[in-house]
Amino acid sequence: MANEKAQPGNPYPLGSHYDGKGVNFALFSANATRVELCLFDKSGAEEIKRYELTENDNNIWHIYIPGLVPGQTYGYRVYGPYQPEQGHRFNPNKLLIDPYGKKLIGKLIWHKAIFGYDVDSPEKDLSFSTLDSAPYVPKSAVIAGSFDWEDDKHPYTKIEDTIIYETHVRGYTKLHPKVPDRKRGTFLGMEHKSTINYLKWLGVTAVELLPIHAFFGNRHKKGWINDNYWGYESFSFFSPEQSYLCYDEIDEFKSLVKTMHKHGLEVYLDVVYNHTGEGNQMGPTLCYRGIDNASYYTLNTENKRYYYDSTGTGSSFNIQNPYVLKLVMDSLRYWVKEMHVDGFRFDLATTLCRYKTDFKRDCGFLYAVKQDPVLNKVKLIAEPWDIGYAGYQVGGFPPGWYEWNDKYRDTVRRFWKGDTYQIPDLASRLSGSSDIFNHENRNITSSVNFVTAHDGFTLNDLVSYNVKHNHSNGEENRDGSNSNWSWNSGVEGETTDKSIIRNRQQRAKGMLTTLLLSFGTPMMLAGDEFLHSRFGNNNPYCQDNVINWIVWDAILKEERNIARYVRQVIRLRKKLKIFNRRKFFDGQVQDKKGIKDLSWYNENGTEFTAEDWKDNSRRSLAYSVFNENSSILCIFNVNGTEQNWRLPGIEGKSWNILLDSSGSFNSEEELGMHKIISIPAWSVIVIEIKK
- pLDDT number for residue 682: 97
Q: What is the mean pLDDT of the chain?
A: 94
pLDDT tens digit string along 29-66? 999 999 999 999 999 999 999 999 999 999 999 999 99
- pLDDT number for residue 222: 43
- What confidence category does residue 217 fall into, taking pLDDT thresholds of 50, 70 and 90? low
- What confidence category does residue 115 fall into, taking pLDDT thresholds of 50, 70 and 90? very high
d(CA 299, CA 293): 9
By the 8 A CB rule, do 256 and 198 touch?
A: no
pLDDT tens digit string along 578-637? 999 999 998 777 665 667 889 999 999 999 999 999 999 999 999 999 877 678 999 999
pLDDT tens digit string along 504-532? 999 999 999 999 999 999 999 999 999 99
Helix (H, G, I), strand (E, B) or coil at 213: strand
Residue 448 reports pLDDT greater than 60: yes
By the 8 A CB rule, do 286 and 218 touch?
A: no
DSSP state of 406: H
Helices of type H across 288-321: 288-296
- What's the whole-number mean pLDDT along residues 649-667? 81
pLDDT tens digit string along 492-502? 999 999 999 99
Within its chain, how far is the Cα of 413 from the centroid?
20
- The phi and psi torsions of 409 (rounded to 5 degrees) equal -55, -50
pLDDT tens digit string along 535-559? 999 999 999 999 999 999 999 999 9
By the 8 A CB rule, do 8 and 55 touch?
A: yes
- pLDDT number for residue 627: 75
- pLDDT number for residue 227: 73
Q: Is 475 a catalytic residue?
A: no
Q: Is 347 a catalytic residue?
A: yes
- What confidence category does residue 652 fall into, taking pLDDT thresholds of 50, 70 and 90? low
Catalytic pick from 47, 266, 292, 347? 347
DSSP string, 34-54: EEEEEEE-TTS-SEEEEEE--
Sequence-distant (≥ 6) Cβ neighbours of residue 23 within 8 angstroms: 16, 17, 64, 65, 68, 69, 72, 142
pLDDT tens digit string along 228-251? 899 999 999 999 999 999 999 999
Residue 98 reports pLDDT greater than 90: yes
Residue 223 reports pLDDT greater than 50: no
Entry pTM: 0.96
- The phi and psi torsions of 217 (rounded to 5 degrees) equal 100, -175
Of all residues in the chain, what percent carry a pLDDT higher than 70? 96
Instruction: Identify which of 18, 269, 266, 243 has the alpha carbon closest to the alpha carbon of residue 142.
Output: 18
- What confidence category does residue 422 fall into, taking pLDDT thresholds of 50, 70 and 90? very high
By the 8 A CB rule, do 242 and 248 touch?
A: yes
Helix axes 406-417, 498-516, angle to 10 degrees: 150
- pLDDT number for residue 528: 98
- pLDDT number for residue 198: 98
d(CA 124, CA 360): 36
pLDDT tens digit string along 461-502? 999 999 999 999 999 999 999 999 999 999 999 999 999 999
d(CA 459, CA 449): 14
- pLDDT number for residue 292: 98
Of all residues in the chain, what percent carry a pLDDT higher than 90? 90
- pLDDT number for residue 226: 62
Bridge-based pairing of strands 402-405 and 447-449 is parallel
Helices of type H across 128-267: 169-173, 187-191, 193-202, 251-262
Catalytic pick from 125, 191, 208, 383? 383
- pLDDT number for residue 341: 98
- What's the whole-number mean pLDDT along residues 341-362? 96
The answer to whether the Cα torsion of 376, 378, 379, 382 is positive or negative is: negative
- What confidence category does residue 225 fall into, taking pLDDT thresholds of 50, 70 and 90? very low
